[in-house]
Structure 1
Amino acid sequence: MSAVNDTKFQSAVFFLTGILGQEDVHVWISIPFCLIYFTSILGNSLILFIIKSDPNLHEPMYIFISMLAITDLGLTISTLPTTLGIFWFNSREISHNACFAQLFFISSLSFTESSVLSSMAFDRFVAICDPLRYASILTPARVAKMGLVSLLRGVVLVFPVPILLKQYRYCHANILSHSYCLPQEVMRMACSDITVNIIGGLFVTVSSVGLDFLLILLSYVKILKTVLSIASHAERLKALNTCISHICVVLLFYMPSISLSVIYRLRKSFSPLVEIVMGHVYLLVPPLMNPIVYSLKTKAIRARIIRLFVK
């Protein structure tokens, strides 16, 4: 009997959810999602192409922007198959292994993006607070190491999660609230004791995303202190203007992430639709808006985009 139960467990699937209560119009809802995915992929690919093709943009700030674009492309591609599969073909089933693989990529790329944003804050800190040593501190080799460390940290922190989840038994309804797999949701489906995952997940989140946010905050406190000490009003505005795009990107990443965490912990106070919408905002809006922000607010990138389309 135990062997039969194990076989049933191994062959079990999770069921993904589109927009709850709107199943009849999923095909129409897929139109804005397709536009978001298309714009995200096109925008981030365009940013990468412009930075790669222009030697003048092979500087630390633009290299970090290209790292952010690569991470956003990864997040977009990670959720695209299951989301459009639900809206177009009502394909809601996803195997355990596929679900664990998807949540691994989503979580590791999210941690990587948080680390890249922290590195970008350090870049702005050095550029404004210690400009004379900028080139010697942020050398190409050091920037490359920072990017590699960001990626490795994301992979190492999340790697145990799918391994632990695979050991659990899942005997609940196995219906997930989103059109993709998130660790928090999958854990709730387990019948086993998930205390290790809850404590470990909280520790990892605080020690990574929480630490990144704290470092970004400290960097901008130092930046603001330095900027306010500049005598010229025009120079103060010029210095702050170089940080505006990064501040917008930080807010686009952390605000939905914090909001979704609050909703998960107080989910009884929110309707399921709010949780679904915030889940999509968390993963779709940053990759969509980041290239738009940098295209509008970064003069060098904006000029090259105009030059690319307007001869």
Structure 2
Amino acid sequence: MTTTTPAPTAPTTGPRPRRHHPQRPVWEEPPTPAGQTAKGLTLGLVVLLILLPVYCVVLTSISTPGAINRAGGLVLVPHGITLDAYTTMLSGGPVRRSLIVTCAITAIGTAISMTVSILCAYGLSRHRSLGHRFLLLILVITMFVNGGLIPTFLVVSELHGYGTYWALILPSAVSVFNILVLRSFYSTTAAELIDAARMDGAGEWRILLSVVLPTSRAVTAVITLFYAVGYWNTFFNVMLYMPTESQKWPLQYVLYEYVNLGVNMPGQVNSGYGVAGHSQTAPLSLQMAVVVLTLIPILIVFPFLQKHFAKGMLTGAIKG
């Protein structure tokens, strides 16, 4: 008796239907084509909404007066490109001086803030340090309770800080939030590394410089970026502690005066800071050039620190 075996069926090449796992949430299911398309369109729209204003500002800053007058304001279509606004802005006057002031305040202020924050965070992260719990409690209280604006102004004035550059640095030199992030990160440093360093005769300074800081580059880069952006955007302290003389204004306050309040800029007719031979430059292009100048340093630095951003914040803030 002979038996016949059924012929093998050809394998199906089409996509297998997705099956919903009964114990898995909906958001963990594989994305559908419609969902992927919706996500792409949403992200594209968000990117467009972010880049369009930047594009208009940059294009207006390099446009001729005729193109700006023809557009009636911000330029969307390039027509007549010139760098006269940047030449006028950087040739002298308060803009170039404010750029130097801002760079100096950012560099010195960031160095002071990082030094104080790292030392404070490292001391609070060592559980055997004297009074670390009490000091940590005092720091946390200052996050929610402070003396207020008037007492702070009186303290700065009594310490002869009014009208000096130190008034733009020292009142905001320390951020308790940044110290807590650094402390949380330093607390998770491998105890084996610290014990090995102590067995080799290293003191606390050597442990901090040779063990803790090299293993915490990510969070250090993030906190440095936070402090640098804060000093670069210094604005409110200028209104409180700086006199009305523009020689000491940082770049952000110059931007406020020239763009928001409409104060004459270099190159405008009847300007107190007029530059010979540049009276034909459009005022709006000068204003937009100052805006671009305030954006350039952050746009240059941020891509180099972006890879450390998520790692530094998550590792320093979440344990487990």
Structure with more of its chain in helix, by fraction: 1
TM-score when normalising by structure 1? 0.28
TM-score when normalising by structure 2? 0.28
